Structure 1
Amino acid sequence: MRLSTRVAGAIAAAALFTLVAPVPTATASPRSTCYGGRVCLYAGFDYNRGQTDHWRDFVQDDTDLSDDNWLAWDYSNSWHSMNNETSSVRNRIGCPITLWQHAYFTGAHSTFLHDSNDGFLANNAVGNNRTSSIDIWCR
Structure 2
Amino acid sequence: MEERPVRLSKKAAGFVAAAALFTVVVPATAAVASPRSTCYGGRVCLYAGFDYNRGQIDHWRDFIKDDSNFSDNNWLNWDFSNSWRTMNNETSSVRNRIGCSATLWQHPFYTGAHSTFTHNSNDGFLANNAVGNNRASSLDIWCR
Q: Shorter chain as normaliser: what TM range? A: 0.7 to 0.9
Q: Kindly tell me: are residues 37 and 22 of structure 1, through their superposed partners in 2, closer, same or farther at Cα, counting changes over 3 Å?
A: farther
- Match for residue 31 of structure 2 among 25, 31, 34: 25
Residues 57-99 of structure 1 deviation map (CA, whole Å, 9 limit, x = unaligned) = 0000000000000000000000000000000000000000000
Q: d(CA) in 1 for partners of 2:84 and 2:30?
A: 23
Match of 1:133 among 130, 133, 138: 138
Unaligned runs of 5+ in 1: 1-17
**In the comparison of the two structures, how many residue pairs are matched?**
120
SS of structure 2 residue aligned to 1:99: strand
Between Structure 1 and Structure 2, which shows a larger proportion of helix residues? 1
Distance 1:93 1:64 in 2: 19
- Give the match for residue 67 of structure 1: 72
| Alignment-derived partner of residue 106 in structure 2 | 101
Give the letter for the 1:52 counterpart.
Answer: I
TM-score by length of 2: 0.80
Q: What is the distance in 1 between the residues matched to 2:35 and 2:111?
A: 29
TM-score (norm 1): 0.83
Q: Identity over aligned residues, as a percent?
A: 77
Which consecutive residues of structure 2, in runs of 5 or more, have no partner in the other structure? 1-24
Query: How much has 1:22 moved relative to structure 2?
Result: 4.0
Quote the offset at 1:24 in angstroms.
4.4
- Residue 111 (structure 1) aligns with: 116
